[in-house]
Amino acid sequence: MEKQAKQVIVIGSGVAGLAVAIRLALQGKQVKVYEKNAYPGGKLTQIKLGAYTFDAGPSLFTLPHLVLELYQAAGLDATAYFEYEEIEEAFYYHFSDNSSFYTHKDETRFREQLSKLFAPREVDQFFQHLQRAKLRYEATAPLFLESSLHELSTYLSKNVLPAITKLPKLGLLGSMHGENKSIFTDQRLQQYFDRFATYNGSNPYEAPALLNLIPHLEHGYGTFFPKKGMHQITQALFALAQKCGVEFYFNSSVERILISSGKAIGIRFADGTEQLSDLVVCNADIRFAYKNLIPEIPAPKAFERLASSSSAMIFYWGVKGIFPSLRLHNVFFSENYQAEFDAIFNGKGYSDDPTIYINIGSKCVAADAPAEGENWFIMVNVAADKGQDWDSIRAALRASILEKMSRILQRDISSLIEEEDYLDPRRIETRTASIGGGLYGHASNERMAAFWRQANKSSRVKNLYFCGGSVHPGGGIPLCLNSAKITSELIAKYEN
Ligand SMILES: Cc1cc2nc3c(=O)[nH]c(=O)nc-3n(C[C@H](O)[C@H](O)[C@H](O)COP(=O)(O)OP(=O)(O)OC[C@H]3O[C@@H](n4cnc5c(N)ncnc54)[C@H](O)[C@@H]3O)c2cc1C
């Protein structure tokens, strides 16, 4: 008799939910995705304001091969479906002393840029630090970012030896900032490398020096941008999932995961209706899931030791003006970085002098702004929501951003804004069910964070799996795609 295809329910259509749905459908499973919003993508979505289109969340795209892999798995030529380009001069960095540089994908040209500002020894150290990042990434990624940390087979694999032999060089002792400070005398370069902690919502003054591997993603593999903007990743994966036979149900908020005799057996909606399945994969924020979807299962004790990742205050400004000095990604550093992170992680939740990140998608996708305009996505890091007065904070941050940007760019930015909207921790939480509006689930401030994060397979409920930015191996698009891959591999191993 023919074996019946297993029925899988995926809760949430974030980038990891879409990717896991594709992979499971390709395993021959019948996959249904239930999404509370009217649209797919979760944080990876877009908004339109008048003649301007904005990527609403992620703006930095690295490791595009992880998207291409999904097409390869489906036996399709990715180039016919998903176009992207490598960015030559991806970042503009501006420091509080008004000095600035551009990054360049070509090392010689990048070295020229750095040499205008920094002593030769510092520039040499810059590239040596990138080599260190490469070594660390290559030694640890197969183990920590591409495998489950909760399977014995991982520790018996060939990936363990390279990590062990390089242990002394991995940066397991000390903090990111401690290491950067010991390498660079120029505070601007300390600040440059410290900033990579924000790529997973962490604090460089606490996060382990191992995280100094993050720059390798940008500098080693390159910085990319989809031809139609970041939202194209969602559109492409959504279309691929449908092509693979995945069924989507929008405006479908899941109220509970049904558990019977220690097994996940389906889901229940707010109106009381139920949908049964053989397996449940939860792509919702893990803290939300323990609190609301499986309240009968206590969250792991380790969660108490993990800080929430930072959140963000975002302004979407349709700016009537062209700024040739700016690039796709622009960073305007604060004067005192330590005070900024202290305020975010240990203080009032935001800094009066925040580092300002401006992403201008229309530098690459001209159609996203009118001919004489630019679509500014302005983001400053803030704490996850703990009941702060976000309306007042928003007003204060808006004023401080306008003052700083008008001063640096020598134009009255306020008078150029013709469209405007915002996102704050509360809105991020409401729109994506991420607790406190944390961008990346838990922060990686703790040395043991990788081991304390939620595993992709529940150890307490059979047939229940997790994927997404708040579970192993962590947040950000590349890790979410890895998370989906690890989860689908575990399902192939245990549930066929
Ligand atoms: C402002 C911002 C900037 C960022 N910048 C970058 C960047 O530059 N580069 C980068 O790589 N990453 C960035 N990130 C992080 C990145 O967006 C996330 O790590 C990633 O998109 C998370 O994907 P996910 O699969 O975990 O799901 P999410 O995007 O969190 O989506 C989860 C989905 O589950 C749905 N859901 C939740 N609960 C239920 C329920 N009960 N029933 C039904 N559906 C439910 C939600 O509605 C949502 O659609 C940024 C994030 C934000 C918010």
Is the model's pLDDT at 162 over the cut of 80?
no
Is the model's pLDDT at 172 over the cut of 80?
no
The pLDDT-based confidence of 64 (bands split at 50, 70, 90) is: very high
Among 23, 8, 54, CA closest to 360: 54
CB distance 436 to 427 below 8 Å: no
d(C-alpha 303, C-alpha 446), whole Å: 11
Average pLDDT, the chain: 96
The pLDDT-based confidence of 1 (bands split at 50, 70, 90) is: low
The pLDDT-based confidence of 149 (bands split at 50, 70, 90) is: confident
CA of 468 to the centre of ligand 1 (A): 8
What pLDDT, in 10s, does the model give residues 296-341?
999 999 898 888 999 999 999 999 999 999 999 999 999 999 999 9
Tokens coding 326: 């700016």
**In a mutational test of the pocket of ligand 1, which residue from 9, 32, 43 has the highest number of ligand atoms less than 8 Å from its CB?**
43
Among 426, 422, 387, 370, CA closest to 401: 422
Among 399, 422, 473, 191, CA closest to 318: 422
Strands (E), 335-416: 356-360, 374-382
Average pLDDT over residues 236-258: 98
pLDDT for residue 218: 96
pLDDT for residue 3: 78
Beta bridge partners of 41: 14
The pLDDT-based confidence of 152 (bands split at 50, 70, 90) is: confident
CA of 100 to the centre of ligand 1 (A): 32
Residues 6+ apart with CB under 8 A from 385: 311, 425, 426, 429, 436, 437
CA of 164 to the centre of ligand 1 (A): 33
d(C-alpha 279, C-alpha 271), whole Å: 22
The residue whose CA is least distant from atom 16 of ligand 1 is 476
Average pLDDT over residues 105-112: 96
Is the model's pLDDT at 2 over the cut of 80?
no
d(C-alpha 57, C-alpha 314), whole Å: 9
Q: How far is CA 166 from CA 15, 71, 172, in A?
A: 33, 34, 11
- Please state at what angle helix 107-115 crosses helix 120-140, rounded to 10 degrees: 140
The residue whose CA is least distant from atom 49 of ligand 1 is 42
d(C-alpha 290, C-alpha 372), whole Å: 48
The residue whose CA is least distant from atom 46 of ligand 1 is 432
User: Residues with beta carbon inside 6 Å of ligand 1?
Assistant: 11-17, 34-37, 42-44, 57-60, 253-254, 283-284, 312, 314, 428, 432-434, 439-440, 468-469, 475-477, 480
CA-based angle 65:68:72, to the nearest 5? Answer: 125
Average pLDDT over residues 420-425: 98
All structural domains of the chain: 7-41+70-75+228-305+444-494 (3.50.50.60)
| 3-class state of residue 103 by DSSP | coil
pLDDT for residue 165: 79
The pLDDT-based confidence of 92 (bands split at 50, 70, 90) is: very high
CA of 238 to the centre of ligand 1 (A): 15
Tokens coding 379: 């983001």
What pLDDT, in 10s, does the model give residues 29-45?
999 999 999 999 999 99
d(C-alpha 425, C-alpha 381), whole Å: 10
Residue type, 368: D
Q: Which atom of ligand 1 is nearest to the CA of 43?
A: 29
pLDDT for residue 401: 98
Question: In terms of pTM, does the model score above 0.95?
Answer: yes
CB distance 323 to 349 below 8 Å: no
CA of 197 to the centre of ligand 1 (A): 18
What pLDDT, in 10s, does the model give residues 264-304?
999 999 999 999 999 999 999 999 999 999 999 999 998 98
CA of 43 to the centre of ligand 1 (A): 4
Range scoring the smallest mean pLDDT among 114-118, 166-170, 177-181: 166-170
